[in-house]
């Protein structure tokens, strides 16, 4: 009779604990595994007297908790990786915008041309050693506002590429200068 009472209390306790775990488990693919494990635990507790009768010394609670913790750890690691990638992407965009502003500001006092636009392509793989490195730099130039008939020369393009290459530590062939707005281009 005492064994029956212990079995009923164990069944009720496991059912309540599993219900709480299912409510507290993170949403997503992990939730179905939690329900599966809890269902197995309840089934084993129900079948416990038969297992004990057959002489088995099987500790399903320990196995179930271990599996649950292993699944929870995997889900948590996945979420942390996703947050790190999102943060890296946001930082990369801030860095990109800063570089664009710097390029535009760098040539603000030029008399031979004006910078109309700029864009930067950065290494976006956060797991790479060269994360954030400049892959390509595009700069669009046009004639100064006071001289719409100005001509853009090769030496001006070389001066832009050399200045940006030295300032940003990139190869000059990674810098593309678009001067199509100038007359005769």
92 and 173 inside one domain? yes
φ, ψ dihedrals at 49, nearest 5°: -60, -40
**83, 100, 129 - which closes a domain:** 83
Q: Which domain holds residue 126?
A: 88-178
**27, 61, 83 - which closes a domain:** 83
Residue 143's CATH number: 3.30.300
Rounded Cα distance, 185 and 173, in Å? 20
Residue partners of 107: CB distance under 8 A and separation at least 6:
113, 114, 115, 141, 160
51 in any annotated domain: yes
The pLDDT score that the predictor gives to residue 171 is 93
62 and 27 inside one domain? yes
183 in any annotated domain: no
Rounded Cα distance, 99 and 105, in Å? 10
49 and 94 inside one domain? no
Rounded Cα distance, 149 and 126, in Å? 45
99 and 173 inside one domain? yes
The pLDDT score that the predictor gives to residue 185 is 47
65 and 143 inside one domain? no
60 and 121 inside one domain? no
Q: How many domains does the chain have?
A: 2
**83, 118, 137 - which closes a domain:** 83
95 and 164 inside one domain? yes
185 in any annotated domain: no
95 in any annotated domain: yes
Is the distance from CB of 164 to CB of 174 less than 8 angstroms? no
184 in any annotated domain: no
65 and 117 inside one domain? no
**pLDDT 10s per residue in the chain (185 long)?**
677 777 788 788 888 888 887 777 777 777 777 788 888 878 877 877 666 666 555 565 666 666 667 777 777 788 888 888 888 889 889 999 999 999 889 888 888 889 999 999 999 887 888 888 899 999 999 898 888 778 888 899 999 999 999 988 899 999 999 988 886 54
99 and 72 inside one domain? no
116 and 71 inside one domain? no
Q: What is the pTM of this model?
A: 0.57
70 and 51 inside one domain? yes
| Long-range contact set of residues 25-31: C-beta below 8 Å, sequence gap at least 24 | 25/72, 26/72, 26/75, 26/79, 28/75, 29/75, 30/71, 30/72, 30/74, 30/75
The pLDDT score that the predictor gives to residue 57 is 53
């Amino acid at each position: 009779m005492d064994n029956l009472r212990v079995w009923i209390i164990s069944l009720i306790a496991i059912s309540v604990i599993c219900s709480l775990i299912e409510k507290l488990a993170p949403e997503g693919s992990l939730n179905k595994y939690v329900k599966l494990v809890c269902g197995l635990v309840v089934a084993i507790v129900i079948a416990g007297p038969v297992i004990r009768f057959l002489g088995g010394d099987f500790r399903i609670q320990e196995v179930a908790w271990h599996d649950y913790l292993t699944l929870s750890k995997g889900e948590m690691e996945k979420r942390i990786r996703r947050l790190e990638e999102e943060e890296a992407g946001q930082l990369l965009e801030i860095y990109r915008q800063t570089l664009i502003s710097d390029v535009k500001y760098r040539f603000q006092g030029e008399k031979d041309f004006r910078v109309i636009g700029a864009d930067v392509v950065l290494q976006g793989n956060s797991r790479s050693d060269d994360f954030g490195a400049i892959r390509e730099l595009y700069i669009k130039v046009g004639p100064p506002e006071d001289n719409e008939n100005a001509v853009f020369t090769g030496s001006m393009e070389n001066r832009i590429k050399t200045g940006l290459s030295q300032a940003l530590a990139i190869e000059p062939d990674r810098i593309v200068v678009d001067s199509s707005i100038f007359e005769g281009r």
